[in-house]
Homo-oligomer: A and B are copies of this chain.
Amino acid sequence: MQIRFSERAKCFRPSEIRNKLFDDPEIITFAAGKPEETLFPVKDVMEAAKHVLKLEGEKALQYSDTQGLREIRQMIASQRMKQAGVNVTEDDITLTSGSQQGIEFSAKIFVNEGDAIICENPSYVGAINAFKTYRPKYIGIPMDEDGMIMEELEKALIANPNARMIYTIPDFQNPTGRTMSIDRRKKLAEIGSKYQIPVIEDSPYAELIYEGVRAPAVKSFDKDGWVVMLGTFSKIFCPGLRVGWVCASEEMLQKYILAKQSSDLQCGSLDEKIIIAYMQKYNLNEHVEEIRKVYRERRDLMLECIRTYFPKEIKYTIPSGGFFIWLELKKEINAKELLLEAVKNAKVAFVPGGAFFTDSGHSNYIRLSFSFVDKEKIEMGMKRLGSLLYSHY
C-alpha cells in the first residue's frame, strides 16, 4: 500500500512541545507552555455556563457566525485590544480557534510555495511547523535583548523580494522570553508599510507582564493596515475554551473570515457564550492581575534557582513576563541528548531549543517554562537539573 500524500503533507512535523514523554507524572516538567490550571476560575466559568445554558441554551448549542458573536468581538475590541493600545471595533476582529489557527491562516492567506517567511530566530515551533505545510523558505532574523534587530530585518527584506510575511512575537517571546522595545515596534510597523508586507504580530502573553509598563502593540503603530494582530484567551483565561482572534484591516480580515469558514465554519458557540457571560459578570482584568502574581513568583524563583544551582557559565534571559526562560549552554552540550538524560536520571524535562530555529545547528539551547509548575517543584526540579548540568561543566 503506497499512499500518495500531497507534498504539503510530507512536510507535516510533530511538535516538540507536545511530547508524550512529558506526561509521566513522576517527571517535573518545565517543558509545557501550559497555564497553571489551579488558577482557572472554574466556579465562575460554571456560573457562566449555567447562566448561558439556562437563558439561551438553544443558541449556545446551535451553529453561529463564522466571524464570531458580535458581543464577544465588542468585548475584545473595547477591552483586550484597547489595553494593547489599539483602537478598533468589533468589525475589525474575527475569531479563531486559539491564536494557533490565526498563525496557520496567515501562511495560508499570504504565502505561496517557495515564498519566504521572515521571523525571529529562534521562534515559536508551533508556528514554524504550521507554516511548513505551505512549503515556504524561512528567513530567521537575529535578536538581541530588545527583540528582532530592525537593521537585519531591512537587509533581509531587500535581499529577499519574495518575502511575503513577517511573523513576530514581540512580548515575552516564545521561546526566548525577550520583549521588543517600543522604538523597534514603531520601526517594525513602518517597515510593514514601506515594504508593503504583512506583519503578523502574535501576542498570546502580552497581558502577563510581571514588571514595568506594558509596551503598546506593534498594531498600535500601524498606520495603513499592514499589521495583523493575533490574540487569545488561552493564556489569560482558559485554553480548553478554544477562542482566539485576528485583528486586521478590512481586505485582509475578509480572507481570514473565509479561511475560517472553509476550515471549520466557526468557533464553538458555547465557548464564545461562556466567555461573554464570564466577562459580563466578572472582571477578567482582576483575574489576570491574580494570575500575574503567581507567575511572577514562579519566574522569580526559577531565576533564583538558576543563579543558585546552575553553572555560572550558562547564559539565560530574564523575561519581564510570559512563561519562558531561554538558556544557552556551552557548545559541547547537545540539548536533545541532555533531555534524555534529564528524564531518565534526574526526572526533569525541558524543551531542547533546536526545533525553535529556522536553521540547523543551535543544539545547545533549552527552553524552560515556569508557568505550569508550583514553587516546591520548581525548587526541586531546578536543583536536579542543576546537578545534571554541573556534571557536564
- Interface residues, chain A, CB within 8 Å of chain B? 1-9, 12-15, 18, 32, 34-35, 37-38, 40, 42-43, 45-46, 49-50, 53-54, 57-64, 66, 96-98, 100-101, 104, 108-112, 115, 126, 129-130, 132-134, 164, 196, 198, 224-225, 234, 238-242, 251-252, 255, 258-259, 261-271, 274
> CA A6 – CA B133 in complex, angstroms?
14
The answer on a CB contact under 8 Å between A62 and B239 is yes
User: With a CB–CB cut-off of 8 A, which chain B residues contact A196?
Assistant: 1-4
The answer on a CB contact under 8 Å between B251 and A266 is no
> CA A381 – CA B133 in complex, angstroms?
47
Q: Which of B32, B126, B133, B263 contacts A104 (CB 8 A)?
A: B263
The answer on a CB contact under 8 Å between A224 and B1 is yes
> CA A255 – CA B263 in complex, angstroms?
16
The answer on a CB contact under 8 Å between B62 and A9 is no
**Contact A262 to B129, CB < 8 A, known contacts A42-B57, A58-B42, A61-B238:** yes
> CA A92 – CA B274 in complex, angstroms?
32
The answer on a CB contact under 8 Å between B5 and A34 is no
17 A-B interface contacts by CB (under 8 A): A5-B110, A6-B109, A8-B109, A12-B262, A15-B262, A40-B61, A40-B62, A45-B57, A46-B50, A60-B240, A63-B234, A97-B264, A100-B262, A126-B261, A126-B262, A126-B265, A129-B261
**Contact A15 to B264, CB < 8 A, known contacts A38-B58, A241-B270:** no
The answer on a CB contact under 8 Å between B54 and A46 is yes
User: With a CB–CB cut-off of 8 A, which chain B residues contact A5?
Assistant: 109-110, 255
The answer on a CB contact under 8 Å between B264 and A104 is yes
Q: Which of B1, B35, B63, B234 contacts A239 (CB 8 A)?
A: B63
Residue among A38, A263, A267 with the highest chain B CB neighbour number at 10 A: A263
> CA A8 – CA B133 in complex, angstroms?
13
> In the complex, which residue of chain B has the Cβ closest to the Cβ of A49?
B49
> CA A109 – CA B263 in complex, angstroms?
13
The answer on a CB contact under 8 Å between A62 and B109 is no
| Nearest CB in chain B: distance from A266 CB, A | 7
The answer on a CB contact under 8 Å between B6 and A62 is no
User: With a CB–CB cut-off of 8 A, which chain B residues contact A115?
Assistant: 6
| Nearest CB in chain B: distance from A301 CB, A | 22
User: With a CB–CB cut-off of 8 A, which chain B residues contact A46?
Assistant: 49-50, 53-54, 57
The answer on a CB contact under 8 Å between A225 and B1 is yes
| Nearest CB in chain B: distance from A199 CB, A | 13
Residue among A2, A98, A242 with the highest chain B CB neighbour number at 10 A: A242
> CA A46 – CA B274 in complex, angstroms?
12
The answer on a CB contact under 8 Å between B9 and A104 is no
> CA A239 – CA B252 in complex, angstroms?
28
> CA A133 – CA B8 in complex, angstroms?
13
Residue among A35, A112, A132 with the highest chain B CB neighbour number at 10 A: A112
Q: 17 additional contacts, CB 8 Å, given A15-B262, A268-B268?
A: A6-B115, A42-B57, A49-B50, A60-B240, A61-B241, A64-B240, A97-B264, A100-B262, A104-B263, A126-B262, A126-B265, A130-B262, A130-B263, A133-B259, A133-B262, A242-B242, A271-B271
User: With a CB–CB cut-off of 8 A, which chain B residues contact A110?
Assistant: 4-6, 9
Q: Which of B9, B34, B53 contacts A63 (CB 8 A)?
A: B34
The answer on a CB contact under 8 Å between A258 and B109 is no
User: With a CB–CB cut-off of 8 A, which chain B residues contact A129?
Assistant: 261-262
| Nearest CB in chain B: distance from A19 CB, A | 12
> CA A278 – CA B139 in complex, angstroms?
48
> In the complex, which residue of chain B has the Cβ closest to the Cβ of A270?
B240
Q: Which of B43, B59, B61 contacts A45 (CB 8 A)?
A: B61
> CA A381 – CA B338 in complex, angstroms?
70
The answer on a CB contact under 8 Å between B34 and A263 is no
